[in-house]
Amino acid sequence: MASSESEAGQGVERRNGPRARAVGIAEVAALAGVSIATVSRALAIPERVTPATRARVLEAVRQTGYTPNVAARSLRARRSMLVLVVVPNIITPFFAELLLGVDQALSAEGYGMLIGNLHDRAEKEQHLVDLVFAGGADGVVLLNGEAPKAPTRSLADSGVPIVAVSSPPPFAAPLVLVRQREAAAAVAEHLLELGHRRLGYVAGPARNYIEHERWVGFTARLAAAGIAATEVTRFSGNFRVEAGIAAGRRFLALAAADRPTAVFAISDEMAVGFMTTVRAAGVRVPDDVSVVGFDGILMADYCQPRLTTIRQPREEMGRAAAELLLRLIAGEPIPPEERVQRLDGVLRLGASSGPAPAGGRR
């Protein structure tokens, strides 16, 4: 096969500096024999020009390949038609579908999606805040409520609409969230029904809103069944696979009699890491220990055994947030009851959870 090398030679080497000259509105106007204002109108408010004029303009546009310059338009109209989406960490599988939902809603309205990845803190965050203050985005979506910080000012003061997803940011903002407590309670319910009484919990980062909500929901339901939160074996974590693996190791280090018979990991990644680790050491899932995750990511369906988890409606969350944001951008007042939108997570049974082992009750 011919090497693809040959396909890679650009015919023309690009010259220094800015773009090749683009056709401007003046060129179109000249060709159509009208003023530039008419061209602008023919394009923006077609009903305000004669059909004949419009036709001439459109034809000229077609011939010249004219596309209105976005910078000029933004400057004039004072809006960028861009939305900044702040992601705590772009490589977490959980966020991809969220972005899909956001993207769908945005592009349906002609908005572009700018990604702000918080991966490496400090200057990056400052930069994102500056961008917004500079008019670089008409609105902001904060995933998992993570708001970029700048030493001197808050995003909230930019005057740009902000919508948060999953957890409240450090300032007031409309919110799309999942009923975390109810979902976590459903996990507890499920495990209790299976007869588990000795439970484990792989946590999220300390002081994390989501972590807190799930813990509260989980333990509240357990309490109702007479199991105190202090009886739950807590493994620290941070949502990532590695944390699940570490939790698995700590589980294995426990005397068999002290091991929980069921473990709720508050992210699928951790659940899978946990499960993989303990299984590798010969612990059977779910016979020896049941495992339940949270999120419903793709991997949950294809690990062994298939993970019991809470499915969060990610695409819908993203879409809801973006739609809310677009209304805000349009200046539409949002009634108070719509400022917080709640969606449900649903328990999806897999094969990783099963009845408590015979000796499971203490």
Binders of a second copy among residues 154 to 173 (CB under 8 A) are: 159-161, 168, 172-173
Select the residue interacting with DNA from 59, 62, 72, 304 (CB under 7 A): 72
How far, in Å, are 145, 324, 337 from residue 333 at the CA level? 22, 10, 12
136 near DNA (CB under 7 A): no
Count of helices and strands (H, E) across the chain: 12, 12
Q: What is the CA radius of gyration of the chain?
A: 27
For 229-281, give the DSSP string: GGGSEEE---SSHHHHHHHHHHHHHS-GGGS-SEEEESSHHHHHHHHHHHHHT
Residue 44 binding: pick among a second copy, DNA, none (C-beta 5-8 Å cut-off by kind): DNA
**Any idea which residue has 């995933």 for tokens?**
143
9 binds, among a second copy, DNA, none (CB under 5 to 8 A by kind): a second copy
121 sits near a second copy (criterion: CB under 8 A): no
Whether residue 116 contacts residue 148, with contact meaning beta carbons closer than 8 Å, is answered with yes
Q: Between 75 and 114, how does the x/- string for binding to DNA read (CB under 7 A)? A: xxxx------------------------------------
User: Can the peptide bond before residue 305 be classed as cis, meaning omega within 30 degrees of 0?
Assistant: yes
Binders of a second copy among residues 218 to 237 (CB under 8 A) are none
Nearer to a second copy, 25 or 186 (CB): 25
- Token look-up 């949270």 returns 294
Task: Tell me the closest approach of the beta carbon of residue 138 to a second copy, in angstroms.
Answer: 8
Residues 149-208 contacting DNA, CB under 7 A? none
φ, ψ dihedrals at 47, nearest 5°: -70, -5
| Span 1-40, contacts to a second copy by CB under 8 A | 1, 4-5, 7-11, 13-20, 22
Instruction: Name which of 15 and 207 has its Cβ closer to a second copy.
Output: 15
Interacting residue with a second copy among 52, 78, 207, 257 (CB under 8 A): 78
Question: CA 156 to CA 169: how far, in whole Å?
Answer: 10
Residue 80 binds to a second copy (criterion: CB under 8 A): yes
66 binds DNA (CB under 7 A): yes
Per partner kind, with CB cut-offs from 5 to 8 A, the member of a second copy, DNA, none near residue 49 is: DNA
177 binds, options DNA, a second copy, none, Cβ within 5 to 8 A by partner type: a second copy
Q: How far apart are CA 295 and CA 303, in angstroms?
A: 14
Query: Binding string to DNA for residues 10 to 39, with x set by CB under 7 A, is what?
Result: ------------x-xxx------xxxxxx-
Contact between 311 and a second copy per CB under 8 A: no
What number of other Cβ atoms are within 10 A of residue 4's Cβ? 7
E strands in 15-154? 82-87, 112-117, 139-143
Single-letter amino acid code for the residue at 95? F
Binding site for DNA (CB under 7 A): 22, 24-26, 33-38, 40-41, 43-44, 47-50, 52-53, 66, 68-69, 72-73, 75-78
